[in-house]
A and B are shown apart, each in its own frame.
Chain A
Amino acid sequence: MSSDIAAILAIDGIASGAIYVLIAIGFVLIFAVTRVIFVPFGDISAFTALTLAALETQRLPGTMGLVAMLAAMATLMQLTADIRASDLKAIPSTLFFYLVVPLVPVALMWFAAGSVMSMPVRMGLSLLLVLPIAPLLDRIVFRPIADASVLLLLTVSMALHFALVGLGLMFFGPEGVRTQPLTDASWEIAGMQVSLQTFLIVGSAVVFSTLLYAFFELTLTGKALRATAVNRTGARLVGIRPAYTGTMAYVLASILAGISGILISPVTTIFYDSGFLFGLRAFVGAIIGAMVNYPVTALGALLVGVLESFASFWSSAFKEVIVFSLLLPVLLWRSLSVGEVEDEAEE
């Protein structure tokens, strides 16, 4: 392998790694706050790409039906809960948050249907449309079993992924899509052509990770999310509602998943079921960060991207095998340092 090829592979790897960073950070965020390993997270990313592709061709995206269906289910469940608790005062806010808020982007899309939109508008709308999916799934699926064991939550999460893939096929159809490139421009750096798109991808990952960090460090809501992650009982004792921080975690993580979907859609062809593999690759990154450490998770996800890029050069048939084999040494190393992890858990 010449150094030129190595450089190209590395740049490619960093670009896809940057996309995995966003998904991996989302995994850690949701897990830390709610203890759910949200397997369908990659699906959210794929659905964003599919939505964006539909908007490009001036079709109504299937996401509208999906969101409307989930909003109706969540509203019914929450209304039932309100009525059972004879908490009739909560009904207006239930209708607002579970029905009106998720349906606003759907309505926007309905009115904008068929019109030609500029790329940033399409991206913004796709992101908005995908945002309610994870919080609604949280309300429908996870909140009723919020106190269950991590293993049960994971099993349910896995089942939910398969359900979502089915719904994806129903709402988006079997065709693969690839959106227009973000830009055709490229720069020459040290004798190599690097597309501006690569810079945009890496730049977005850096910007949004930094924004998330600032949110956690500087805002009270961010601190409340961290507090829930560090100590659930302690958080309740200062008046932080885990259901609220859970929803916030899902919304924030969905923003990351949506952005990763937007970034990946011009790079590779996306199908209704492509999300699982991105999710799994990002998950390897999250495991490297032990599901708690954001910076290590980000580095892990980058490593996965670079390894994937080189693996596809060496032996593209074994690409996935090589990437997922990375889990073995990591898990071994993690299990050897398990004493340390237990100490942390006791704090």
Chain B
Amino acid sequence: MSLLAIRSLDVCYGKVEAVRQVSLSIEAGQIVTVIGPNGAGKTTLLAATIGLLPSVGEMLFEGHDLRRLQVEARVEAGIVLVPENRELFGDMSVADNLVLGAYSHRHDRAGNRRNLDDVYHRFPRLLERRQQKANTLSGGERQMLALGRALMAKPRLLLLDEPSLGLAPLIVREIFKIIASLRETGVSVLLVEQNARAALETADVGYVLETGEIVNSGPADTLIHDPKLIATYLGGH
């Protein structure tokens, strides 16, 4: 059984059908990426998966129907979204942001403390800045905080929306290294990216989304050598 199985998913933004008949699946421990141009419906797909947007079609998480669950219940089930604009608690400290990340498991205090140590170990910069307000952080630090906050929720499936957007190349490399390292902890990742090369280098499986439809899919190391993809998304290298 797949961790997440989406079949024939339609998502509408008002009258616009932003995602049409999308099917994809993620196995436990896998990193799956969805690449495609701006406006292809990638963010919409993630928003529907976490429940911020209503959708039509089948969506199963470990065999359980997700569509009747609200966002908060999906978070409790283990699906956590790191959105493109991070959605941090800007006026609150880094430490408070992280503590709130564990809100869905708030009764497991010992586990959360261990998890917090683990996040600080993974992102030493956050430990240095733990008393600082989130809106005083740099772009890269904010993305680290967003990732750290998501990890505090003990996700089984992490939905990452454009984690490299607006970041310096050096930090992008660091972020992708961290994403790849999540595989060892058993967290599955659905990664949506415009930076197709970095995404395919990190992922196991890739899907290509264009104008709301899946036009290509396969193992990431096959896609990365696909001549058409190289011409369109990978800068012709």
Contact = CB atoms under 8 A, between A and B. Distances in A.
Interface of A: 85, 220, 223-224, 226-227, 230-231, 233-241, 347
Interface in B86-137: 87-92, 96, 99-104, 106, 135
A223 B103 CA distance: 10
Contact of A239 (B68, B75, B96): B75
A224 B102 CA distance: 11
B92 A230 contact: yes
A241 B75 CA distance: 11
Interface residues of B, number: 28
Interface of B: 50, 52, 68, 70-72, 75-76, 80-81, 83, 87-92, 96, 99-104, 106, 135, 149, 153
B196 to A, nearest CB: 26
B89 A237 contact: no
Contacts of B101: 238
B100 A223 contact: yes
B92 A220 contact: no
Identify the interface centre among A223, A224, A233, A234: most chain B CB within 10 Å of its CB. Answer: A234
Given A238-B149, A239-B76, A230 B100 contact: no
Contacts of A234: 87-89
B91 A237 contact: no
A220 B96 CA distance: 9
A239 B103 contact: yes
Contacts of B135: 347
Contact of A240 (B52, B72, B81, B88): B72
A223 B102 CA distance: 12
Given A237-B80, A237-B81, A220 B88 contact: no
B103 A224 contact: yes
B70 to A, nearest CB: 8
A237 B83 contact: yes
7 contacts: A85-B68, A220-B106, A227-B92, A233-B83, A235-B89, A235-B100, A238-B100
Contact of B72 (A223, A230, A236): A236
Contacts of A237: 50, 71, 75, 80-81, 83, 87
B103 A240 contact: yes
Contact of B153 (A235, A236, A239): A239
Contacts of A85: 68
Given A238-B149, A240-B100, A231 B106 contact: no
